[in-house]
Structure 1
Amino acid sequence: MAPAEALLRVEVLWGAAPHDIRRVALTLPAGSTAGQALAASGLLVEFPELAQAPMGVWGRACTAETVLRDLDRVELYRGLTVDPKEARRLRHGRGGGGRAGGR
């Protein structure tokens, strides 16, 4: 058995849909990469498109070759389906209005 310091505890997260977050906790050998964590997570079996998905570690973009540290969280990102400005307009109505109590 390898010493404990030769192992990393990492987590891989994928938001398959709003309110559908897949979280996989892994123990990997030291020196493992984000791509290796994704492969070990098993998520590629269910979601093969993740092989091309942008990824990050703790909210910072990374590549599959990024070497991980203990307790890192690998996040897989999906594309936006609606422009954030348009989504805000849809939530708050399209009426010209402006500010509440405005002119």
Structure 2
Amino acid sequence: MVEIEVVYAAEDRQMLLAAAVPEGTSLRAAVRACGIEAQFPALDLADCPLGIFGKVIADPDVRVVQAGDRIEIYRPLLADPKEVRRLRAAKAALAKQQNP
């Protein structure tokens, strides 16, 4: 068995679960095995991106867990950070023009 942690942060709460999974388990299978879906019913584990210690894993269905991995479940962004910065800069430029 391999000891891992699975973490997820929803809008209103966060959770860290410790689990033991058989050797050779993929990241996605390990996340499902830990039972986090029961805590967050709206979470769609089939499509959500997964990472280990802040690095997104390209193919979590193939990548095998290793002892001590902290698997992170990522939520989709509500707003594109680049777009938010662009809008904020445009608003600041407009305010500067109106109040020289």
One-letter amino acid matched to 1:74: I
Say whether the 8 Å CA contact 1:8–1:29 is kept in structure 2.
yes
Instruction: Could you tell me which runs of 5 or more consecutive residues in structure 1 were left unpaired when the two chains were aligned.
Output: 1-6, 98-103
Q: What's the offset of the Cα at 1:50?
A: 2.3
Displacement of 1:78 after TM fit?
A: 1.3
Deviation for aligned residue 1:64 = 2.2
Task: Percent identity, please.
Answer: 31
Could you list the runs of 5+ residues in structure 2 that have no partner in the other structure? 95-100
Greater fraction strand: 1
TM-score (norm 1): 0.69
3-state DSSP of counterpart to 2:32: helix
TM-score (norm 2): 0.71
Alignment size in residue pairs = 90
RMSD: 2.4
Select the structure with the greater relative contact order (CA < 8 A; seq sep ≥ 6). 2
Give every structure 1 segment of 4 or more consecutive aligned residues whose post-TM-superposition deviation is greater than 6 Å. 90-93
